[in-house]
Chain A
Amino acid sequence: MARIPYWNISYGVIIDLLAIPVFLIFVYGLYLQWQLIKKGQLRVIPSITKVFQGIGTFRPGAFFMRGILNPKIYRKPASGVAHGCVFWGMALLFVGTNLVILNILFGLPVFTGAFNRWFMSFTLDLAGLLVLGGIVFFLLRRQFMPDRLKIPEARTGFVLVSSLLGVLIITGFVIEGARLCANTPEAGAFVGNFLAASVISQTSALQIHTMTWWVHGLLALFFVAYIPFSPLVHIILAPVNSGFADPSPGVKMGVMDFSAFDDEDAEELPALGADKLADFTRKRFLDFASCLWCGRCQEACPAHNTQKPLSPKGVIVTLAQKLAAGEMEDSVMETLSMEAIFNCTTCAACMEVCPVSINQPKTIMRFRQNLVMEQGQMPELMGKAITSLEQRSHPFFGTGSGAAEWRKDLEVPKFEAGKTEYLLWIGCSITYEQRAWTIGRAMVNILKSAHVSFGILEDSRCTGDPAKQMGNEFLFAEIAQQNIDDFSALGIQKIITMCPHCYNSFTRHYPKMGGQYEVIPHASFIRTLVDDKKLQLDRNAQTITYHDPCYLGRRNGVYDDPRNVIASVGNLVEMPRNKNESFCCGGGGGNYWAEETGTRINQARAGEALGTDADAIAVACPFCLLMLTDGVKKYTEEIKAFDIAEIVEKCLPDMAEG
C-alpha cells in the first residue's frame, strides 16, 4: 500500500503553514548576519566591476567546489567523514522532504514502486543513520575536545544544535517505525521495519505516531528558524565565504597607493593597515563570521607549533568576538600582542588548511602594516633590517659582504639592452649572505653551460619584498617603482629568479604597478633546460629530500618543477609534510630577522628533513637555505642543506674541467 500523506494526522497542514513564518525568520537571521558584515569597509577596486556589495568578486565555481564539496574538510578523516555524513545525509533528507511536499501538492508519485523502495525508504533511512552517526561523533568530540578546539577558546552552541538534530532524526525514525508497525513493513525501510518489529508495540503505535509526528514537525521548524542564530549558520556562510575567496593560492596583499599622502588637497588620509575591527573590509568580516574556531589553522601554524604567542585562530576568534559584540572601535592590540603579530611567517599554511576559506595571514598583516607604518613599532631586529633596506637598499645590516663579492673571480655577463634575453635577478640574500653566494655562482654556471643568453644588473638590488613582509608597504612601493622604472629603461622582459620572494613580488605585485614581465623561478627554468636537453646532467644515487619554500609552493603552486629537477640528478624522498602541507623554514614574514622565542622553527623543520635520512636537503629559496643550514647545525656539523642550483651544478659534466 502506498503511503498516504497526513496518514493518522489531523490538521497536519498546520506544519506546512508554519513553514512560511519559519522561512521568514530564517531569512531575517541571514539578513542580520549581512547587517553585521556590512559594517566592514567597502572594497574599492576600480578595475574590478563585479564587486558584489563591496565584498569582492563572487565565484559560483568556488562556492560549489570549495564551499559545498569542500575537499579540505576531509584532511581530518574522522571529522571530515562526520561532516560528510551529516551534510550529505541532511541534503538527502531535505530532498526527500521536498518530494513529499511535491506529492502532496501535485501528486508526484514518489511512494510507489522501486523509487519508493530504494530512495524514499532505503536511501532516506540510510541517510538518517549517517546523520545520526555524525551527530554522535560530534557530541562525543565536544565532550572530549582536542586542543585545537579548546585553545585558546572553544566556540559554544554546537551541543544544542547537534542534539536538536539528533532528536529530529530519532523522532523521524520513530514516526516511520510507528507507521509501519500500524500498517505493514515496507521493502527497503530497514530502520523503520526494525523499529516496527522489535521496539514499538502494536497497541500504542498509532498514538506514538501522532505524538511523535507533531513533536518532530514542530522541532524541525524550530531547528530551521534557529540555524542563522547558531554556529550552524556556517552551512550558509562557509560556502559564501569560499565563493568570495581570492582564487589565487596564498595570501595576496595587493599594493598600496600612497598618492593621497602627497596630495596637498587630500582631506582625510586613509589609515594604513588595521588596529581595530572597523578598519577591516567586508570580506574580512565575512571571514570572522564564518570562523568555526576549529583550530586547524593553529595546528598548521609554524609559530604556534613552536610555542610562540601567535595563534591564527586566536587572531580570528578575537575579531569574531568583537564582531559579535559590535565593538568596532576598540583597539585589538590590547588582546593580541605585537610579538604575536610579528611571529607570522606569512607561510599561508593556515589558510591552506582552513575549510571555510578564511584568509588569516591577510588579517595578521593588516595589523602589522598598522604597527609599522602608522606607529613605527616593530621588533628591534626587523627595525634594523627595514632601516638598512631604506638606507642601503638591502636589509642585511652588519653584513660582511660587499656588493660584488659573491661573483669574485667569476665572469658574469651584464644585462645589455636589446642584446640579452634573460635578466638573472640576484636579489639581496645571495649578494649579502656568504652562504647564499654559491646559489648565484651555481646558477651562472648552469646558464653558461646551457648557453642561455642572460645577464645581471650592474648594481645589487632588492625587490622590496622584505619590507612588504614586515608590513612596510610604503618602502616596498618606493623600491618596486624604482626597479620598474629601471627595468623599463633597460627593456627587461624576461626574468629568472632564484628567490621565491622576488618571484612572488615580480608576479603578484609588480604588474599592479605597471611592471609586466615573464618571470621564471630558477627551479622551473632548470627543469625546462633539462627537458629540452640543453643541460646534460650526471645522475647519481644520492637521495635528496625537498623542502617546499612557502613562496614558491603554497603561494605560487610550483611543486613539480623542483621535484623533476631533483629526480633528474638523484632520488627524491619526501618529508612527511610536503607540497601544500610543507612546514615553513621560519624565515618568512621578515622573521629571518627575529629573535625567536620557544623552539626554533628552522630546527624543527631541519629535524624533519634529517628524519628522511636523505643525503641532502634541497631547497629553492636562499632564505630557506640560510634558515635550514642553521637549523641543521643543531643536529649535525655536516653541511646538509643545498639550493637546487648548487645540487644541479655539481652534476654538470663539464664542471670537472673547471
Chain B
Amino acid sequence: MKTLIIENIDLKKIGELMTVSRLFCDTPDIIALGDGEIPGSFGRAWQSAATVSANLVVPITQLIQQEGYEVILMSVSTLGTGLAGPLSAALSAPVITEVTAIHPDMVVDRPVYGGKAIIKYKIESTPSLLTIRRKYFEPEALAGTTPSVPLETGDEKVTLVSEKIEQTEGIPLEDAAVIVSGGRGMGDPENFALLQEMADLLNGAVGASRGAVDEGWASPTRQIGQTGKIVAPDVYFAVGISGASQHLAGIANSKCVVGINKDEEANIFNRARFGIVSDYKKIVPLLTQAIREDR
C-alpha cells in the first residue's frame, strides 16, 4: 500500500514509524518537518521548516490526494495530534489515534478507558490515518539520508511567535533506560531533588505523574502517562505514585517497574515487579547511597 509518514525530523520517531510502515509497504514516502537532513531511505521526500500543524493541513491534504496515499502514519505528538483530526475531515478518511498494535488485513488496536480495555478496528477504506503511540514499536535504525523537495505551505493560519524548549538535562525521558518518577505522594517539590540525584547516578531521567505536575512540582514536559510521555525504560522507579490506570498506560512497555509507596494498597503494586511499602524519604536516600557504593 502506498504509505506516507508525516513526522518531525527526529531519529527515534521516524525510526518507529519506519518500522510500522514496513507492515504496509516496502519503502514509504515522507513529509519531514523541521530543519536538517532526512534520515533513512524513502521513496520520495518532502520537507518544510514549518512545524505548526494548523498551517500544514492544506498542503498535506493536497499532496495526499495528488499522490493517492493509502496509509498515512504519524506518531502521537503535538504534530500528529494536530494533524490527525483536520486531515481526517479534509480527506473524509478514517482516523485511528494512539495505535498500539497492527494486525494483518488493516486491523489495528488502540487502548480505551485509560488503557483498561483494548479496542480493535478494521479499517474499511483508503486513505486512512494512523497516529502511533510511542514506544510500542522498536525504532528501525535509519541508514543514510533522503534528499527532499520543499513542501509549499502557503498562508499561515497560526503564527509561531516563540518556542521555549525546556532544558531537560541529560537523557530525554523517551530514551532513558532508567526513569525515576515522582507522584503526588512526594508531598513536596523539594524532594524531587532526591529523585534527580538517584537518576543521575543511574544515567537515567526524572519523570512525574500527572498529580505531581498538576501540583506544579514538576514541569509538564516531565509528565508520564496516557496524556504525557509514553516511556519504555528497563527500570521504572515509581516513587509516591499511586498508579492510576492513566499513568500505567504511559509505562505499559517498561520492562521492570519498582513501586515505592507507603500505601500497600496503591495500585502501582499491581503493575510493579518489585514493591517496597515504606516512606520514600527513608528508601530513596539509602538507595542512592547504595547505588553510589556499588559503582
Residues in chain A within 8 A of chain B (CB atoms): 398, 400-401, 433-435, 595, 633
B265 at the interface (CB under 8 A from A): yes
User: A221 CA to B266 CA in the complex, in Å?
Assistant: 72
Residue in chain A with minimal CB distance to B188: A595
Chain A residues, CB < 8 A from B265:
400-401, 433-435
B187 A400 Cβ-Cβ under 8 A: no
User: A401 CA to B263 CA in the complex, in Å?
Assistant: 13
B270 at the interface (CB under 8 A from A): yes
Q: Quick one: which of A400, A433, A595, A633 contacts B266, CB cutoff 8 A?
A: A400
Chain A residues, CB < 8 A from B266:
400
B242 A398 Cβ-Cβ under 8 A: yes
Residue in chain A with minimal CB distance to B269: A400
Residues 10-64 of B contacting A (Cβ, < 8 Å): none
Q: Mark B106-132, 1 if CB is under 8 A from A, else 0.
A: 000000000000000000000000000
User: A398 CA to B267 CA in the complex, in Å?
Assistant: 9
Distance in Å: Cβ of A612 to nearest Cβ of chain B = 25
User: A633 CA to B265 CA in the complex, in Å?
Assistant: 15
User: A398 CA to B265 CA in the complex, in Å?
Assistant: 11
B244 at the interface (CB under 8 A from A): yes
User: A7 CA to B96 CA in the complex, in Å?
Assistant: 112
User: A435 CA to B270 CA in the complex, in Å?
Assistant: 16
User: A564 CA to B266 CA in the complex, in Å?
Assistant: 36
User: A656 CA to B3 CA in the complex, in Å?
Assistant: 68
Distance in Å: Cβ of A622 to nearest Cβ of chain B = 14
Residue in chain B with minimal CB distance to A435: B265
Chain B residues, CB < 8 A from A433:
265
User: A433 CA to B262 CA in the complex, in Å?
Assistant: 14
Chain B residues, CB < 8 A from A398:
242, 244
Distance in Å: Cβ of B89 to nearest Cβ of chain A = 33
User: A434 CA to B244 CA in the complex, in Å?
Assistant: 16
User: A595 CA to B240 CA in the complex, in Å?
Assistant: 14
Residues in chain B within 8 A of chain A (CB atoms): 187, 242, 244, 262, 265-267, 270
Distance in Å: Cβ of A585 to nearest Cβ of chain B = 17
User: A537 CA to B124 CA in the complex, in Å?
Assistant: 69
Q: List 12 A-B contacts (CB under 8 A).
A: A398-B242, A398-B244, A400-B265, A400-B266, A400-B267, A400-B270, A401-B265, A433-B265, A434-B265, A435-B265, A595-B187, A633-B262
Chain A residues, CB < 8 A from B187:
595
Distance in Å: Cβ of A582 to nearest Cβ of chain B = 26
User: A241 CA to B266 CA in the complex, in Å?
Assistant: 49
Chain A residues, CB < 8 A from B262:
633
Chain B residues, CB < 8 A from A401:
265
Residue in chain A with minimal CB distance to B265: A434
Distance in Å: Cβ of B280 to nearest Cβ of chain A = 14
Distance in Å: Cβ of B247 to nearest Cβ of chain A = 11
Chain A residues, CB < 8 A from B267:
400
Q: Nearest 8 A-B pairs (CB), nearest first?
A: A434-B265, A400-B267, A400-B265, A398-B242, A398-B244, A595-B187, A400-B266, A435-B265
Distance in Å: Cβ of A566 to nearest Cβ of chain B = 27
Residue in chain B with minimal CB distance to A634: B279
User: A595 CA to B262 CA in the complex, in Å?
Assistant: 14
User: A372 CA to B266 CA in the complex, in Å?
Assistant: 29
Residue in chain B with minimal CB distance to A633: B262
Residue in chain A with minimal CB distance to B266: A400
Residue in chain A with minimal CB distance to B244: A398
User: A633 CA to B261 CA in the complex, in Å?
Assistant: 13
User: A380 CA to B270 CA in the complex, in Å?
Assistant: 27
User: A434 CA to B266 CA in the complex, in Å?
Assistant: 10
Chain B residues, CB < 8 A from A633:
262
Residue in chain B with minimal CB distance to A401: B265
Distance in Å: Cβ of B49 to nearest Cβ of chain A = 43
Residue in chain B with minimal CB distance to A595: B187
Chain A residues, CB < 8 A from B270:
400
Distance in Å: Cβ of B184 to nearest Cβ of chain A = 9
User: A400 CA to B265 CA in the complex, in Å?
Assistant: 7
Distance in Å: Cβ of A405 to nearest Cβ of chain B = 11
Distance in Å: Cβ of A441 to nearest Cβ of chain B = 16
Distance in Å: Cβ of A598 to nearest Cβ of chain B = 14
Distance in Å: Cβ of B199 to nearest Cβ of chain A = 25
Residue in chain A with minimal CB distance to B270: A400
User: A315 CA to B262 CA in the complex, in Å?
Assistant: 35
- With A400-B265, A435-B265 known, 10 other A-B pairs at CB within 8 A are A398-B242, A398-B244, A400-B266, A400-B267, A400-B270, A401-B265, A433-B265, A434-B265, A595-B187, A633-B262
User: A633 CA to B266 CA in the complex, in Å?
Assistant: 16
Distance in Å: Cβ of B266 to nearest Cβ of chain A = 7
Residue in chain A with minimal CB distance to B242: A398
User: A434 CA to B267 CA in the complex, in Å?
Assistant: 11
User: A434 CA to B270 CA in the complex, in Å?
Assistant: 14
User: A401 CA to B267 CA in the complex, in Å?
Assistant: 9
Distance in Å: Cβ of A198 to nearest Cβ of chain B = 71
User: A547 CA to B267 CA in the complex, in Å?
Assistant: 30
Most chain A beta-carbon neighbours within 10 Å: one of B242, B262, B265, B270 = B265
Residue in chain A with minimal CB distance to B279: A633
Distance in Å: Cβ of A230 to nearest Cβ of chain B = 49
User: A435 CA to B266 CA in the complex, in Å?
Assistant: 12
Chain A residues, CB < 8 A from B244:
398
User: A400 CA to B262 CA in the complex, in Å?
Assistant: 15
Most chain B beta-carbon neighbours within 10 Å: one of A398, A433, A435 = A398
Distance in Å: Cβ of A493 to nearest Cβ of chain B = 35
User: A401 CA to B266 CA in the complex, in Å?
Assistant: 10
Chain A residues, CB < 8 A from B242:
398
Distance in Å: Cβ of A573 to nearest Cβ of chain B = 28
Distance in Å: Cβ of B270 to nearest Cβ of chain A = 7
User: A434 CA to B262 CA in the complex, in Å?
Assistant: 14
User: A401 CA to B265 CA in the complex, in Å?
Assistant: 9
Distance in Å: Cβ of B17 to nearest Cβ of chain A = 35
Distance in Å: Cβ of A438 to nearest Cβ of chain B = 13
User: A434 CA to B242 CA in the complex, in Å?
Assistant: 14
Distance in Å: Cβ of A437 to nearest Cβ of chain B = 10
Distance in Å: Cβ of A456 to nearest Cβ of chain B = 22
User: A433 CA to B263 CA in the complex, in Å?
Assistant: 11
User: A373 CA to B214 CA in the complex, in Å?
Assistant: 24
User: A433 CA to B264 CA in the complex, in Å?
Assistant: 11
User: A435 CA to B263 CA in the complex, in Å?
Assistant: 10
User: A544 CA to B84 CA in the complex, in Å?
Assistant: 65
Distance in Å: Cβ of B179 to nearest Cβ of chain A = 22
Distance in Å: Cβ of B111 to nearest Cβ of chain A = 19
Distance in Å: Cβ of A211 to nearest Cβ of chain B = 72
User: A595 CA to B265 CA in the complex, in Å?
Assistant: 19
Residue in chain B with minimal CB distance to A380: B215
User: A505 CA to B266 CA in the complex, in Å?
Assistant: 30
Chain B residues, CB < 8 A from A595:
187
Residue in chain B with minimal CB distance to A630: B262
Distance in Å: Cβ of A433 to nearest Cβ of chain B = 8
Residue in chain A with minimal CB distance to B262: A633
User: A400 CA to B244 CA in the complex, in Å?
Assistant: 9
Residue in chain B with minimal CB distance to A398: B242
Residue in chain A with minimal CB distance to B215: A380
Residue in chain B with minimal CB distance to A433: B265
User: A400 CA to B267 CA in the complex, in Å?
Assistant: 6
Distance in Å: Cβ of A125 to nearest Cβ of chain B = 65
User: A521 CA to B204 CA in the complex, in Å?
Assistant: 54
